[in-house]
Amino acid sequence: MGDFTRLTRTDWLGLADRFYARLDGTLASLNGPDWERVTPYLGFRARDVLAHMASTIPVNFREVLDRALAGNPAAPPEFDTFARNTREVARRRATPPAALLTEFRRELDAIMGMYRRMSDADWQKPAWFFVGRVRVRSLFLVQFADNVFHERDLLMANRRWTGGLDPEHAAPLVDWFLRDFRPSLFRPDRAAGLRATMRYRLGGPAGGEWTLTVADGACRAELGAPARADVTLEADAEELVAAGQARAGPWVGRLACGLGAIGRLGRSEDVVARITGMASLGWALALRRIRVTGNRALAAHLNRAFWHFWERTEMTAENIAKG
């Protein structure tokens, strides 16, 4: 278990540099057929995942980072991440993987340079992301965590994911995910009268125990096990985050993309996210990769009191409206 709050900006940059050096080797090792395989991420092919990794830096992360560093942490006038990501990937559909890799390296070097040059005070500046008010540090951590799981997506598509998450960076990222990112998804409007304590008991190299408490319309998460819990969730840390981030089987993604093309079901990118997200979580529960015990009624109420990955468009719109 790693306490993400104990790591300084320099510590995080060091972890990221070591990870990105390895990621560069992973990307360089993929060949022509490897780039065409379907990944667990939204039905994207491997080349689409790389296009997404390259394009999301300037069109998502750089926009909100530039605003935060300029002292403007308000939401951009339009910040629909699913729509933006789908549009940018479509624009690069015919771009060769070698060119996408060059773009990714260029954009990554540019934004990492910004994080290196900023001060520690800048690192803590208010910022905005689709989850609402955050800090500049959170923008860095979201991108870092995204790319950790995108490497996993690419390797799983090519049946090369064998070692699991690296605890050096995964342990503090999982701690951040549960103690900072997860509470940012809390919906007080769906938690009227809800009082519950939930224990997370996670296995694997990034595992540990955490306590999430909801009471009086507020949510907090802490390291360590509670004296008593109404609900206990047990899983491998990697499995829990993968389910929460809508990683489903490639055939689910292909089916979702086909259904998403049917206009009556809603916007295609939202349909794909909803199908893959619900399938990944449902299967993890059905296969007991995630096990929930205790008060089942409270567990269901807790589940409804948080935004889910596949609700990102609605969540973003609501947070923009809040200002």
The pair of structure tokens assigned to 214 is: 């909801």
Contact, 221 vs 212, CB < 8 A? yes
pLDDT for 131: 93
Same domain, 310 and 244: yes
Residues 231 and 274 in one domain: yes
Instruction: Count structural domains, the chain.
Output: 2
Residues 103 and 250 in one domain: no
Give residue 257's pLDDT.
83
Per-residue confidence (pLDDT) for residue 197, from 0 to 100: 97
For residue 126, is it within any domain?
yes
Question: What confidence tens digit (pLDDT) does each residue in 196-209 have?
Answer: 999 999 999 999 99
pLDDT tens digits for range 301-322: 999 999 999 999 999 989 888 8
In this structure, which amino acid lies at residue 84? Answer: R
Q: Is residue 177 part of a domain?
A: no
- pTM exceeds 0.85 for this model: yes
Distance CA 159, CA 38 (A): 11
- Residues in the chain predicted with pLDDT less than 70, given as ranges, are 1, 263-266, 323
Q: Let me know whether 90 and 211 are in one domain.
A: no
Residue 187, domain CATH: 3.30.1050.10
Q: Decide which of 123, 143, 170 is a domain's last residue.
A: 170
Q: What are the helix (H) ranges across 158-224? A: 167-176, 182-184
Domain assignment of residue 175, yes or no: no
Do 145 and 244 lie in a common domain?
no
For 63, counting Cβ atoms within 10 Å of its Cβ (0-12 exposed, 13-18 middle, 19+ buried), the class is: middle
For residue 123, the 8-state DSSP code is H
Residues 117 and 233 both lie in one domain:
no
115 in the same domain as 192: no
218 and 148 in a common domain: no
**Using one digit for the tens of pLDDT, what is the confidence trace for 74-105?**
988 888 888 888 889 999 999 999 999 999 99
In this structure, the answer to whether residues 78 and 197 fall within a common structural domain is: no
Let me know if residue 267 belongs to a domain: yes
- 237 is a domain residue: yes
Return the CATH number at 18: 1.20.120.450
As a whole number of angstroms, the distance between CA 50 and CA 318 comes to 29
- Residue 176 domain flag: no
Q: How far apart are CA 323 and CA 315, in angstroms?
A: 13
232 falls within a domain: yes
From 121, 142, 170, give the residue that closes a domain: 170
Q: What is the pLDDT of residue 263?
A: 63
Residue 262 domain-assigned (yes or no): yes
Mark whether 18 and 154 lie in a shared domain.
yes
Structural domain that includes position 57: 4-170
Burial group, residue 206, by CB count within 10 angstroms (0-12, 13-18, 19+) = buried
Same structural domain, 270 and 199: yes
Within this chain, do residues 142 and 213 fall inside the same structural domain, yes or no?
no
Last residue of a domain, one of 119, 138, 170: 170
